[in-house]
A = this chain, B = another copy of it.
Amino acid sequence: MKKKSIKDIAQDLGLSKTTVSFVLNNKGDEKNISKKTQIKILDYVKKVDYHPNQIAKSLKQGQTNTIGYLVPDISNPFFAKIGRLLEDYFWEKGYHLLIGSTDENKDKETQVLNMFVNRQVDALIVASCFIQSDTIKSLLSRDFPLVFFDREDPDIIANYILVENKISMKGAVERAIELKSKKLGLITLTPDVYSLKNRIEGYKMALENKNIPFDDQLIRIVDNNDLKKGTEKELKTLIESGVDTIVFTNNQIAVIAIWLMNTYYKDKVNNIKFVSFDNVDLFDYSLPKVISVAQPIDKIAKYSTEIIENILSSKKSENKRIELTPKLIERK
């Protein structure tokens, strides 16, 4: 049985497309379609297992009820959990999520973004690595409904949901120092996004505040293209230089480092302390002990949804910048 369209239904029933359309959209009463006709249509539609073509509807109405969710890696628990919350919130409003991962790659980001735009997503929620890109500037200049999270570019005015990167990293590192850390190294992804820069800044501020001399040799940068190998190399460097504490700017490299420690430096897991931005379940059970900065995932999702909803209903954006307070988690 070939797929039926409204036209087919109308023909089969000897009615017009209009009538059928009205009834299928629950406007039967409002549009004075007789109960009898309504029932006839509804029954027939069920019988032939009719599925309205949402694509045609979207084209007609200029609205797809789709939100694009663009992140570096959807399988990173941080982004996966936020994605799940967004999915739930938007489901209630009749919106659905199209997802894309960028691997922090500018070309991929641009391509996915264009794909989203071409597919007429109604809004975008983006953890972008290149807020300055032409694609994003173009979106912004067209007032495209858009909220950034996790990443910021202070030169670009837009909607941002962020966390207090600098101050919370500072707090975490200071806490480590209070717990007797003397020599603290740091491993980070390439800090070309502001959140990472700020987290590093927080680390420096903590050292200064606690009168620990700063040594830029102890800041190690891992290339985004090969996290495993890069982290392995930088971890080795730091351990050989005798640090008692290693600070990580995000969960990804911290998790890799924990694995490396347990594989290659098993003897040291009790003598070294870790500090990490982001929190993952694993930290509760692993060695070295981790002091972590847990981002308020639920709030990030909630505020993103709210901003998007406001824009979508009022058709205007106010460019809010929301900075949330993470939670410091200490383990003993």
A138: interface (CB < 8 Å): yes
Question: Are B64 and A75 in contact (CB-based, < 8 A)?
Answer: no
Q: How many copies does the complex hold?
A: 2
Tier of interface size on chain A:
35 or more
Chain B residues lying within 8 Å of A99, measured Cβ to Cβ, are 83, 87, 97, 99
Q: A281-B282, A282-B281, A282-B285 are in contact. Are A49 and B138 (CB under 8 A)?
A: yes
Q: Which residues of B contact A100 (CB under 8 A)?
A: 87, 96
Chain B residues closer than 8 Å to A259, beta-carbon distance: 281, 284
On whether the beta carbons of A98 and B98 are closer than 8 Å, the reply is: yes
* CB of A179 closer than 8 Å to a CB of B: no
Min distance, Cβ A93 to any Cβ of chain B, angstroms: 13
Is A225 part of the contact surface with B, judged by Cβ < 8 Å?
no
A294 touches B (CB below 8 Å): no
Chain B residues positioned under 8 Å from A74 (CB to CB): 80, 83-84, 87
**Is the CB of A314 closer than 8 A to any CB of chain B?**
no
Nearest residue (CB) in B for A116 is B96
Q: How far is the CA of A297 from the CA of B111 in the complex (A)?
A: 26
B-contact bits for A144-156, CB 8 A (1 contact / 0 none): 0000000000000
Q: For the A-B complex with A74-B83, A83-B99, A88-B101 known, give 17 more contacts whose Cβ atoms are closer than 8 Å.
A: A49-B138, A51-B114, A53-B120, A54-B118, A55-B64, A66-B98, A80-B80, A87-B100, A97-B98, A97-B99, A98-B98, A255-B281, A258-B285, A259-B284, A262-B284, A284-B286, A285-B287
